[in-house]
Structure 1
Amino acid sequence: MKRRAKDTGPETEGDGFFEDRLVCDFTGGAVGHRLKFGGGRGQALPKAAGFTKGRTPSVIDATAGFGRDAFLLASLGAEVTLIERSVDVHAMLAEGLERAHFAGGQVADIAARMTLLFGDAKELLADLSADVVVVDPMHPPRKTKALVKKEMRVLRQFVGADPDAEELVKAALDVAEKRVVLKWPAKADPLPGIKKPSHQLMGKSTRYDVFMTG
């Protein structure tokens, strides 16, 4: 067995990747840290998705990846459908959800609100419905020389560059009952062919483009 890649702090501790395979752990690491100290509905993604004190929308995460955003929203009470088209990443998520169910307690309760589907979201969305669709495609190359985190570079090897991100956002706009949230680099150019967002939430490195559909 190959040794685990060296941890770089709470962002990769307990989950992320081994040198030869991806690993998803909803019971600790970055996910557990975010669950305990993340700030609940005051975090940028829940705010962008329309979570308020009295409102918990249903959500489709059309680009599940490591499943962390889906877990966050499920931890706030939402029913979340995760879609992943990479065979390897889907298997990683399935293993992570299985471990979460066996862990019991709060983590198992959260995982019970998460439904994992395999396939291309552009095709599956037509048969699904939710208040909110979250789209977090692989981000374009950075304009600076700074490298993205190693785990994201490894993930990119499995899922590719998502050249169909524009088509996915359009498919999400056709389905979302209230809004689509596009998670995108703060300084990146807008996706071509997509209408101007209704509003944006800006972070240091990430922005959330919100498209109201209701």
Structure 2
Amino acid sequence: MSDLTSPQAIICLADEYRTDALSLALRLGLPAELVCHSSSNKDLPEKMKSLEGFVLLLGEEGVSLQPLGKKAPGPTRVDFEGGAVAHRRKFGGGSGQMIAKAVGIKASRPLKVLDATAGLGKDAFVLACLGCEMMLYERNPVVSELLADGLRRANQSLDPELQSIAQRMSLSAGDSLQQLADSERVGVVYLDPMFPDRSKSASVKKDMAAFHQVVGKDEDADQLLPLAKSVAEYRVVVKRPRKAPFLNDESPTYQLSGKTSRYDIYVNRKLPD
């Protein structure tokens, strides 16, 4: 990883998390001396304030990504229990959601879905809420750590429904191209690669700006589609900005479009009744 996509430090928000922080540094290939201590994310070590990029915070709320610099937004973490994700779980429209229609979900037909570009796991969580057995691939080491931490907390939740949903989600860290090439057949493959040609006028929420910086552009995204089609038993679903070109310049079997995004569906064969 380049300097701006590697943590400038791993900050423990309490001494009890230092062992976990050292383990995280080891997994990310970072020297132990980058593990520091601070009482809160608002009181980062002085030497951090002049740096660019981000740090990783470890505390009571798990692992989070904190951008550095003036006017930086607050930390980003994976939280399946609260916020917008929880609201969507309870009030998101169930199988009537466009993503559910694109994947082909029916109450009487559980599906095994491979999300090969998992990111922060929001779409995978929606599908797991609707009964899908989800396999998640994420190649960015930092994002994978955030996602793994969110899944760990969901599995330890006092909410039995959330625990049940989280147990339908399994994460595999590593390059999606290689993992797809080695993958067994699965019902549906879902792709949502980072779109490289975002318009300058397009709005990006401040709390996601650091995430975009860490992930970068999926310049090799076109290579995902033929691999996904070879793995999917029934269909490949590709989420794209509404006006974006087709992935790998391949026209889909059909599309579902919304105001800002669309789903391109590549059908291999009909889903079972």
TM-score of the alignment, normalized to the shorter chain, above 0.5: yes
The 5 Å alignment of 1:151-190 reads 151-190=207-246
Distance across 1 between alignment mates of 2:110 and 2:91: 20
Structure 1 residues 110-152: Cα deviation after superposition (integer angstroms, max 9, x where no partner): 0000000011111112323311110000023334613222233
Distance across 1 between alignment mates of 2:124 and 2:137: 10
Bigger RCO (CA 8 Å, 6+ sep)? 1
Residue in 1 that maps onto 2:92: 38
Contact 1:61–1:134 (CA<8 Å) still a contact in 2?
Answer: yes
Contact 2:79–2:150 (CA<8 Å) still a contact in 1?
Answer: yes
Structure 1 residues 41-89: Cα deviation after superposition (integer angstroms, max 9, x where no partner): 1101111001123222110000011101111111111110000001100
Distance across 2 between alignment mates of 1:96 and 1:114: 11
Instruction: Look up the equivalent residue of 1:51 and give its one-letter code.
Output: I
CA 30–18 in structure 1, closer or farther in 2 if over 3 Å, else same: farther
CA 178–88 in structure 1, closer or farther in 2 if over 3 Å, else same: same
Aligned match of 2:121 in 62, 67, 82?
Answer: 67
Residue in 2 that maps onto 1:2: 41
Q: Which runs of 5+ in 1 are unaligned?
A: 4-14
**SS of residue in 2 equivalent to 1:133:** strand
Contact 1:170–1:194 (CA<8 Å) still a contact in 2?
Answer: no
Contact 1:130–1:177 (CA<8 Å) still a contact in 2?
Answer: yes
Q: CA RMSD in A?
A: 2.0
**Number of residue pairs the alignment of both structures matches:** 203
CA 129–16 in structure 1, closer or farther in 2 if over 3 Å, else same: farther
Contact 2:196–2:219 (CA<8 Å) still a contact in 1?
Answer: no
The 5 Å alignment of 1:134-213 reads 134-143=190-199, 145-191=201-247, 193-213=248-268
The 5 Å alignment of 1:89-104 reads 89-104=143-158
Contact 1:16–1:151 (CA<8 Å) still a contact in 2?
Answer: no
Q: Which runs of 5+ in 2 are unaligned?
A: 1-39, 43-62, 69-74
CA 16–198 in structure 1, closer or farther in 2 if over 3 Å, else same: farther
Residue in 1 that maps onto 2:67: 19
Q: CA deviation at 1:195?
A: 2.2
Q: Percent identity between the aligned chains?
A: 45
Residue in 2 that maps onto 1:10: none
1:116 equivalenced with 2:175 (yes/no)? no
Distance across 1 between alignment mates of 2:65 and 2:94: 26
Contact 1:17–1:151 (CA<8 Å) still a contact in 2?
Answer: no
Contact 1:173–1:179 (CA<8 Å) still a contact in 2?
Answer: yes
